[in-house]
Amino acid sequence: MKFRVERDALADAVAWTAKSLPSRPSVPVLAGVMLRVTDGRLQVSGFDYEVSSQVTVEVQADADGAALVSGRLLAEITKALPAKPVDIAAVGAHLELVCGSARFTLPTMPVEDYPSLPDMPSSAGTVDAVVFAAAVAQVAVAAGRDETLPMMTGVRVELNGTSMAMLATDRYRLAMRELEWNPDDPQISLNALIPAKTLNDTAKALGPIGGSVMLALAQGNAGEGMIGLAGGARRTTSRLLDGANYPPVRSLFPASHNAEARVAVAALVEVVRRVALVAERTTPVLLSFSEDGLVVEAGGTEEARASEAMEAAFTGEPLTIGFNPQYLIDGLQNLGAPNALLSFVDAFKPAVISPAGENGEIVPGYRYLIMPIRVTR
């Protein structure tokens, strides 16, 4: 194998493939990326039996072939190379990489020991890449991180005709985003629970490419399904999580509310960040709403306290409610709108944050529900 490739194209391809490789692989070869050259094209692949990634790059090939090298090491090297074409050749049990006056020699692993990547499932439809990336980011922020509760670490994708809904919850907050997409079958009705980290990383990489993202779904028995995502020259597959017993989280959104407030997103985020400096990790920030506006307060150890007042348009009976400051900031930062509409039932029931435009009108499609923290004053 011998070829020449542009440095930026190689660095992007290796970085995207290597980011999903396991840090402690069960088998050493799974820490590698496969470089395979055929017909003037370089395929960079990674696979850990759960997630596969593959990118195709145009190269000037002198000889076809394949080599398997450490993914993380290759990613670090290609990122640090000067902005010049890169010459790569497989020589015996090593891979030689030359860029300008920089030269690296990397040991290779046995190509024959590397598992075959799974085939892409059949296409289910396409969705705008930029819209999809933004929507996934809005929802994935609410997914759980606790691997002992795998169901909570996923994003539930519901496909019904031309409507796509994504939901995620870690039991303390819930995000839901609805958008339009282009199904291959207008009568489609499918649900899938996708690992949030994989979905978010992939969507974030495919968004800047633009165009459309193809969604491919293979539904087997519970927990045995697979999803594929493809855009440009990149493709990813991932095993689905078992979502057979996913809770009916939509019912958590209150049917009505007794009070609501409109606030500027950027200003509220700044205030919460400042006030939360005195709060311990498990200490909530208190939001006190009245017709005079909003006061944000927090208290910590050794009688450290902070409070700050800001403008807010509030309707309803005066209300004081406590939230985890980071959960509140996460919801606000992902609204994608200048203003936020906060809807309350009372101080002890979930609050709902919705995006609002410059004139205060609600922007449909996204809702972020956050559980309050009970506080005694």
Write out the DSSP string of 132-157. HHHHHHHHHTTS---TTSGGGGEEEE
Residues 364-369 have a mean pLDDT of 97
Q: Mind spelling out the 3-state secondary structure of 295-310?
A: EEEEECHHHCEEEEEE
Domain housing 184: 123-250
178, 244: one domain:
yes
Same domain, 244 and 257: no
Q: State phi, psi for 266 to the nearest 5 degrees.
A: -60, -40
Burial 61-75 (b: 16+ CB within 10 A, else e): beeeebbbbbbebbb
CA proximity to 226, closest of 86, 117, 142:
117
Q: Tell whether 45 is covered by a domain.
A: yes
Confirm if 297 and 286 have CB atoms less than 8 A apart.
Answer: yes
Q: What is the strand order of the sheet 189-195 is part of?
A: 189-195, 154-160, 163-169, 173-180, 366-370, 351-356, 339-344, 259-264, 313-315
Any domain includes 375: no
All residues at 6 or more sequence positions from 89 whose CB lies less than 8 Å from its CB, including other chains: 1, 2, 3, 63, 95, 96
Domain end: 113, 137, 169, which one?
Answer: 113
Q: How far apart are CA 247 and CA 125, in angstroms?
A: 26
Residue environment code for 246-268, b if the CB has 16+ CB neighbours within 10 A, otherwise e: beebeeeeeeebebbbbbbbeeb
Give the confidence band of 301 by pLDDT, cuts at 50, 70, 90: low
pLDDT at 269: 98
**Hey, how many other C-beta atoms are within 10 angstroms of the C-beta on 304?**
12
Give the confidence band of 279 by pLDDT, cuts at 50, 70, 90. Answer: confident
What pLDDT was estimated at residue 23? 83
In terms of Cα–Cα distance, which of 59, 171, 162, 48 is closest to 115?
48
Domain shared by 139 and 216, yes or no: yes
Cα–Cα distance for residue pair 237/216, rounded to 1 Å = 9
Q: How many domains does the chain have?
A: 3
362 and 262 part of one domain = yes
CATH number reported for the structural domain that contains residue 242 in this entry: 3.10.150.10
Tens digit of pLDDT for each residue in 111-157? Answer: 999 999 999 999 999 999 999 999 999 999 999 999 899 999 999 99
Q: How confident is the model at residue 170 (pLDDT cuts 50, 70, 90)?
A: very high
- Distance between CA atoms of 56 and 36, rounded to whole angstroms? 10
pLDDT of residue 4: 96
Given a cut of 90, whether residue 222 has pLDDT beyond it is no
Q: Which of 87, 113, 139 is the last residue of a domain?
A: 113
Q: Assess whether pLDDT exceeds 80 at residue 224.
A: no
Residues 201 and 314 in one domain: no
CA neighbours within 13 Å on the CB side: how many for 193? 20
Q: List pLDDT tens digits, range 35-94.
A: 999 999 999 999 999 999 999 999 999 999 999 999 999 999 999 999 999 999 999 999
Tell me what pLDDT residue 221 has.
45
Q: Is residue 46 part of a domain?
A: yes
Residues 278 and 240 in one domain: no
CB–CB of 369/343 below 8 Å?
A: no
54 with 106, same domain: the answer is yes
Q: Is the Cα torsion angle 60, 63, 66, 72 positive or negative in sign?
A: negative
**Quick one: 349 exposed, middle or buried, by C-beta within 10 A (0-12, 13-18, 19+)?**
middle
Residues 314 and 337 in one domain: yes
Mean of per-residue pLDDT scores for the chain = 94
Q: Tell which of 88, 113, 138 closes a domain.
A: 113
Confidence of residue 376 (pLDDT cuts 50, 70, 90): low
Alpha helices in the chain (DSSP H): 7-18, 71-80, 129-140, 196-206, 265-275, 325-333
- For residue 193, with 0-12 CB atoms within 10 Å meaning exposed, 13-18 middle and 19 or more buried, which class applies? buried
230 belongs to a structural domain: yes
pLDDT-based confidence at 377, cuts 50/70/90? low
Residues 143 and 230 reside in one and the same domain: yes
What tens digit of pLDDT does each residue of 240-269 get?
Answer: 999 889 999 999 999 999 999 999 999 999
Q: Does the pLDDT value for residue 17 go beyond 80?
A: yes
Q: Are residues 109 and 77 in the same domain?
A: yes
> Mean per-residue pLDDT for 323-333?
96
* Half-sphere CA count of 339, side-chain side, radius 13 A: 16
Percent of the chain with pLDDT over 70: 97
Same domain assignment for residues 271 and 340 = yes
Phi-psi label, residue 201: left if phi above 0, alpha if psi -120 to 50, beta otherwise = alpha
Q: ∠ CA 189-192-195 to the nearest 5 degrees? A: 160
The number of angstroms, rounded, from the C-alpha of 74 to the middle of its chain's C-alpha atoms is 24
pLDDT band for position 223 (50/70/90)?
Answer: very low
User: 268, 282, 262: which is closest to 324 by C-alpha?
Assistant: 282
In a domain, 165, yes or no: yes
Residues 109 and 6 in one domain: yes
264 domain-assigned: yes
- Whether 82 is covered by a domain: the verdict is yes
Structure confidence at residue 219 (pLDDT): 66
Is 198 a residue whose pLDDT tops 70? yes
Residue 376 in any domain: the answer is: no
Looking at residue 235, its pLDDT comes to: 95
Most distant CA pair in the chain, distance: 77
Distance CA 132, CA 170 (A): 21
